[in-house]
A and B are shown apart, each in its own frame.
Chain A
Amino acid sequence: MNKKTKTNFITGDILKASILGAFKKLNPLYMIKNPVMFVVESGFIITLLLGFVPDLFGDEGADLYLYNFTVSAILLITVLFANFAEAVAEGRGKAQAQSLKKTQKDMHARILKDNGEDEIISADGLKKDDIVLVKSGELIPNDGEVIKGIASVDESAITGESAPVVKESGGDFASVTGGTTVVSDWLKIRITSDPGESFLDKMISLVEGASRQKTPNEIALNTLLVSLTIIFLIVIVSLYPIALYSGIHLQISTLIALIVCLIPTTIGGLLSAIGIAGMDRVTRFNVIAMSGKAVEVCGDVDTMILDKTGTITYGNRMAAKFIPVGNASEEELIRYSVISSLKDDTPEGKSIVSLGESLSGKRQQEIPGMKSVEFTAQTRMSGIDLPDSIKIRKGASDAIQKYVRELGSVIPTDLEGSVNEVARLGGTPLVVCLKEQILGVIYLKDTIKQGLTERFARLRAIGIKTIMCTGDNPLTAATIAQEAGVDSFIAECRPEDKIAAIKAEQAEGKIVAMTGDGTNDAPALAQANVGIAMNSGTAAAKEAANMVDLDSDPTKILDVVEIGKQLLITRGALTTFSIANDVAKYFAIIPAMFMAVIPQMQILNIMVLSTPYSAILSALIFNAIIIPILIPLAMRGVEYRPMSAEKMLTRNMLIYGLGGIIAPFAGIKIIDLIITPLLTAAGL
């Protein structure tokens, strides 16, 4: 499940398993779930029978054995291709599930009884509210909540992220997932899910595709495909007596060939593969969708509600500017600010060093013998003591002022103004002093994540509105919102404001997506049409969401939306392609059917196919091989670039609609040129 590995869409193992799977799926009881392909399979069985007994329905003609067998073989291959596509899609998920299952199989739990004793039992025996103890090096047997202890946990089995995470009781880091490993210390955990319902179980069944239910759009599309199949069945069944009236005795195999060519086998064969592959793409992004529907709904999202901290900004304040005060020069301020932060490992400290170095263009070496002074809640400042007893301090404005005053120095008059200006912009002012002299103010600012501004622009291009929620005051919020390029913001936002915002958007008929992690986000996650919970978040949040992001990267929501759209576009594109193909197939088969009795039909043979048999077989072969040709497209999804709906429609219609009309003309002609000598040799 490592997202970093670039996987080929097919590997040797999957290939082997899929070929086997393709044959296993020939079972009619299974095939009937896909009516389009079931018709093809029925056609295969009838033509196979006709291969043995050509005059079963009174057909006459030389070489009927061979012809019927050939049609039958092509139909079988068509069905196998479709089954293969589905098996490949499933295979990729199964491989992932396999390794997860392995983890699950050999899990044990040290259950703590009421009398204080412990006992090792199999993880399957754990029930909700059992208390277990997990020591260093052991697997956490099931989902739960830490009630005691603090430990680092390796979650790579689930998330693929190798850095361990610290888990402790209370707060946002209390929830643990079954299947992850405690790498140091110990944890006492209360189990929160029953056997078979854990997150790991859900994940296994999801990636396996076992619990896959058809999504609403898939159902609607399936209805369309079935109705097209029925229409063409009516056309062909009625054609038999009509042709008979016109003095043409049509062979059953030819009629079956025409039915198979006209019904939408291309999309019919690839439909479930597209759905499975779509879910798979989401999983590859390390997002677990609770249902295929959730992914599809993502494509419809109109509004996204995003937390500022963690989603839009890094959440840590970063140095943005040095403002000298009094007599100090900027150079001086930068130099001492950097020195004071050299031993400071906090993100703020690091950012001061990197900004300072980039502004001054010099790397500041550590001065031997310098001692770091840690931040404490009492002093509210930190700093460094240089060997020659020079003290540099940085900290909150009032704390530094007090410190300097005690040393008997005066406060520069312009300090107040600079500090207030920083605060007004929504930043945090950090005041720096060298001995008793105040040098200036470091402007610490919330920084917007890299590349996010472009992503918001992308979202705007496809008509998605973004709303930022933050606890900051309106002024700060406005600054960040403008910088990030979100469409609107809610300042001083409380959890209930979030729900109100979601409801207001929904009342306008909009589909709302949001990300959240804390317990107080749970109601909002449930209210939103798409709720993505962070894996680091609380169990309540995960329960309420319909997707869980294993990397706890809130910006993923943007990727999921694009995958959702891509999924729908792929279905639409292949449906259009499939239907557009019919035009060429009509022109291949219809003249071939009637040419023997009505020679004038030659005019309609616009592809100049050599014989009636070669025409019918070419169309049928084209119909079969287009399925494997399109498997990679179905797996990958069609290329998606953000653009307006109108542009996208025009573009896709040109590629898949117009392309779908033209491609088979060329394809059938080429196949005809190839098979004509073969057929002549075989005597057809």
Chain B
Amino acid sequence: MLQILIFLAVFVVIIFPMGKYMYHITASQHTFADPIFDRVDNVIYRLCSIDRKGMQWKQYAMAMLTTNAIMVLIGYLILRIQTVPFFNPNSIGGMEPVLSFNTVISFITNTDLQHYSGESGLSYLSQMLVITFMMFTSSATGFSVAAAVIRGFAAKTKTVGNFYADIIRITTRVFLPLSLAIGLLLVSQGVVQNLSPNTTVQTIEGKYQDLSMGPVAALESIKHLGTNGGGFFGANSTAPFENPNVLTNMIEMLSMMILPGSVVVMFGLMVRSRGKSSEKDMERKRLFSREAKPVFAVMFFLLVIGIAVCFWAEQAGNPALQQVGLNQSMGSMEGKEMRFGIAQSALFTTVTTAFTTGSINNMHDTLTPIGGMVALVNMMLNLVFGGKGVGLINMLMYVILTVFICGLMVGRTPEYLAKKIEGREMKLTALAIIIHPLLILSFSALAIALPAGLAGISNPGPHGFTQVLYEFSSASANNGSGFEGLGDNTYFWNITTGLAMFFGRYLSMIIMLAVAGSLMLKRPVSESIGTLKTDTGTFTIVLFMVIIIIAALTFFPALILGPITEHMVLWN
């Protein structure tokens, strides 16, 4: 209990300096590290002959899409020909086309859903050039788009920024140095980092065991920093070589939380008013810039509820195992690592799904129904911090919706950040909100209606349905964790989840860029006492309720037939 509280306190403390640093990077302001990074960046700009002119939202979206498309092509090619003996000491064969398609989409979209097992499915070359590389670029892409969207909302510039400059600046100034530091920290705790082939050792029992090796630490650090979540090994962060002890567990969790949390702080700083200098001084004294407050409050509250419910559910144990005589006083330890226990496991599960990382330190398939539901709901909401940038974008969608309803309630055309929310913005926002339930529910319905989908389900009854629901929620939310009981390396699952990941990622990004582009061009309206304030307690509560009623209740019937029924049957 105490460890969870301290952990959350550390999280809240570290995001402020980080948020400020990221704000300086995004707003192209001076930072302490400029003398080094400016030189590095300039070399890259010159090498790639990048024109750092500001872009309109459409150009920005095109630049993002084409860059991603090129990386997809290269990634796909490498996976198909990885059988060549180049950084391939374990002689891994080429990956088959449909699985390669799924894998490439999975990593470029920051999802990291893995329908393969790292040890047997990928060569070191693929791990480094496809997996680790895309972990950097996909998270930098997500961050860049968020930066562009926020610039549009803030409307202090005439353009949403330059995609190439954004992606380079965030990579060289945040991801690379932080990954290096965290990677070394992990190595010091026992995470492996080598290019040697797998070794076979004799265990104490006298049996022989293969120990998987590889450049794990390099992948492990960006896996969490970039909220990617794809493990080097199939067992992900439950494997001792990825996550050896409680300290690394904490480091990994904080790594995935720091950037999505900081983005909220950064958002507040970027949109703060250009008002008089006295107001600015006031702003400086506050912890949060005011617009970030309701966003952070709602995210943090949802996170705390999630952690509490998950912890409580896992601690309660499993009555079915109790009946067969297994002591449940430790909680439901099935599928969990002894070195982490209930608290560290429940925390990791909630954090990894809330921050849409998708790495796991316990088997989510064996969580209690309610514990599993917390993970599921986090992904269905996809805005409890979410992936860096993307979670904030999703939250802004609901902020616009709330502003619209609240704005009418005070008798004015709704305004957010001094921009009117009108038909066009509502149309786009509505579209973005529809996408998520559409992908999750219709693909899930399809899966259980078709034999190809049913074939993957390894458990009958409500748990089987939860597996399906979880898989698509994870794919659509670009989370990547799985209820691993699902037999998902088939044409059906590779293609459907591939599509869910693709649309789940790019559609909402493009739509929110369009919203930002449209808001940016609007003439700002003045603020008076009759204007709706979006930084107050009332607004925060309404925002929370709107999310609960619209985002959560949408999935209520599905949750009833999945985890809730399972829970009621289990405890009856």
A290 at the B interface (CB under 8 A): no
Q: Write the chain B residue with the least CB distance to A464.
A: B530
A263 to chain B, nearest CB (A): 12
Stretch from B59-67, B228-236, B329-337, B404-412 that touches the partner: B404-412
Q: Does A580 contact B (CB under 8 A)?
A: yes
| Distance between Cα atoms of A586 and B552 in the complex (Å) | 12
Report the bound CA distance from A640 to B568 in whole Å.
47
Decide yes or no whether A603 CB sits under 8 A from chain B.
yes
Chain A residues whose CB sits within 8 angstroms of the CB of B558 once the complex forms: 235, 238-239, 242
Task: Tell whether A648 pairs with B410 under 8 Å between CB atoms, given A219-B423, A231-B434, A600-B569.
Answer: yes
Which A-chain residue is minimally distant from B427 (CB atoms)? A223
B565 within 8 A of A: yes
Q: In chain B between 527 and 572, which residues have their CB closer than 8 angstroms to a CB of chain A?
A: 528-533, 536, 538-539, 541-542, 545, 549-550, 553-558, 560-561, 565, 568-569, 572
Q: Are A243 and B437 in contact (CB under 8 A)?
A: no
* Selected contact of A216 from candidates B405, B422, B462, B542, CB within 8 Å: B422
Given contacts A226-B430, A245-B465, A657-B542, contact A579 B549 (CB under 8 A): yes
Task: Give the residue name and chain of the B residue nearest to A597 (CB).
Answer: B565
List A residues 187-239 near B (Cβ within 8 Å): 216-217, 219-221, 223-224, 226-228, 230-232, 234-239
For residue A653, CB closer than 8 A to chain B, the reply is yes
Chain B positions 410 through 453: 1 when the CB is less than 8 Å from some CB of chain A, otherwise 0? 11111000100111011100110110011001101110110000
B531 pairs with A652, CB closer than 8 A: no
Give the residues in chain A near B167, CB-CB below 8 Å.
Answer: none
A234 and B404 contact, CB distance less than 8 A: no
| Contact status B418-A509, CB under 8 Å | yes
With A and B bound together, what is the CA distance between A586 and B410 in angstroms? 28
B525 interfacial by beta-carbon distance below 8 Å:
yes
A233-259 residues with Cβ-Cβ distance < 8 A to B are 234-246, 248
Are A463 and B531 in contact, with the CB atoms below 8 A?
A: yes
Of B408, B411, B554, most A-chain CB atoms within 10 Å: B411
Number of A-B contacts (CB under 8 A): 210
B520 CB, nearest partner CB in chain A, Å: 14
Contact between chains at A217 and B411 (CB < 8 Å): no
Check if A235 sits within 8 Å of B427, measured CB to CB: no
Contact B445 A231 (CB under 8 A): no
In the complex, A463 Cα to B412 Cα: how many Å? 11
8 A Cβ contacts from A631-663 to B: 640, 644-646, 648-650, 652-653, 656-657
B85 adjacent to chain A (CB < 8 Å): no
Give the nearest-CB partner of B571 in chain A: A600
Cα-based distance from A231 to B438 in the complex (angstroms): 7
Is the CB of A388 closer than 8 A to any CB of chain B?
Answer: no
CB-based contact B437/A231 at 8 Å: yes
Select from chain A the residue with minimum beta-carbon distance to B538. A650
Contacts of A657 in B (CB 8 A): 542, 545
Chain B residues with CB under 8 A of A240: 445
Q: Are B431 and A511 in contact (CB under 8 A)?
A: no
| Residue on B nearest A262 in the bound complex, by CB | B553
| Complex interface: chain B residues within 8 A of A155 (CB) | none
CA distance A395 to B529 in the complex (A): 48
Stretch at the interface among A35-43, A307-315, A569-577: A569-577
A462-B529, A462-B530 known; A217-B538 Cβ under 8 A: no
Closest B residue to A567 by beta carbon equals B411
Contact of A600 with B565 at beta-carbon distance under 8 Å, contacts A220-B421, A565-B412, A575-B408 already known? yes
- Of A228, A242, A511, A569, the contact of B408 (CB 8 Å cutoff): A569
A645 touches B529 (CB 8 A): yes
Within 8 A of A (CB), among B434-488: 434, 437-438, 441-442, 444-446, 448-449, 461-462, 464-465
Q: Is A300 an interface residue (CB 8 A)?
A: yes
Are A568 and B568 in touch, CB under 8 angstroms? Answer: no
**Which chain B residues lie closer than 8 Å to A575 at the CB level?**
405, 408
Tell me whether A569 and B426 are in contact (CB under 8 A): no
CB–CB B445/A220 < 8 A: no
Knowing A235-B554, A238-B441 are in contact, say whether A653-B409 is a contact too (CB < 8 A): yes
- Are A242 and B561 closer than 8 Å at their CB atoms? yes
- What's the Cα separation between A640 and B461 when bound, in Å? 53
Complex Cα distance, B406 from A102, in Å, reads 44
Cβ-defined partner of B528 (8 Å) among A216, A220, A302, A650? A302
Q: Report the separation of the CA atoms of residues A20 and B542 in the bound assembly, to the nearest whole angstrom.
A: 40
Residues of chain A contacted by B446 (CB below 8 angstroms): 241
Q: Do A242 and B525 touch (CB < 8 A)?
A: no
B-chain residues with CB within 8 Å of residue A237 when the two chains form the complex: 442, 445
Kindly state the separation between the CA atoms of A657 and B409 in the bound complex, as whole angstroms. 10
Which residue of chain B is the closest to A296 with respect to CB atoms? Answer: B413
B413-A645 in contact (CB<8A): no
Chain A residues lying within 8 Å of B431, measured Cβ to Cβ, are 227
Chain A residues with Cβ below 8 Å from B561 are 242-243, 245-246, 248, 594
Report the separation of the CA atoms of residues A245 and B445 in the bound assembly, to the nearest whole angstrom.
Answer: 9
Contact partners of A652 in chain B: CB under 8 A: 409-410
Shortest distance in angstroms between B445's beta carbon and chain A's nearest beta carbon? 4
10 nearest A-B residue pairs (beta carbon) = A572-B408, A565-B411, A463-B530, A227-B430, A463-B528, A600-B568, A238-B445, A463-B529, A238-B441, A572-B409
B-side residues, CB < 8 A to A, are 401, 404-414, 418, 421-423, 425-427, 430-431, 433-434, 437-438, 441-442, 444-446, 448-449, 461-462, 464-465, 523-526, 528-533, 536, 538-539, 541-542, 545, 549-550, 553-558, 560-561, 565, 568-569, 572
13 more contacts with CB within 8 A, not counting A220-B426, A600-B569, A645-B533, are A220-B422, A231-B438, A245-B448, A299-B413, A302-B530, A568-B407, A572-B407, A580-B545, A586-B553, A590-B560, A640-B411, A645-B412, A646-B538
Interchain residue pairs with CB less than 8 A apart (17): A220-B423, A227-B431, A231-B554, A236-B557, A242-B444, A243-B561, A245-B448, A245-B465, A463-B529, A576-B405, A580-B549, A586-B553, A590-B560, A601-B560, A644-B530, A645-B532, A646-B536
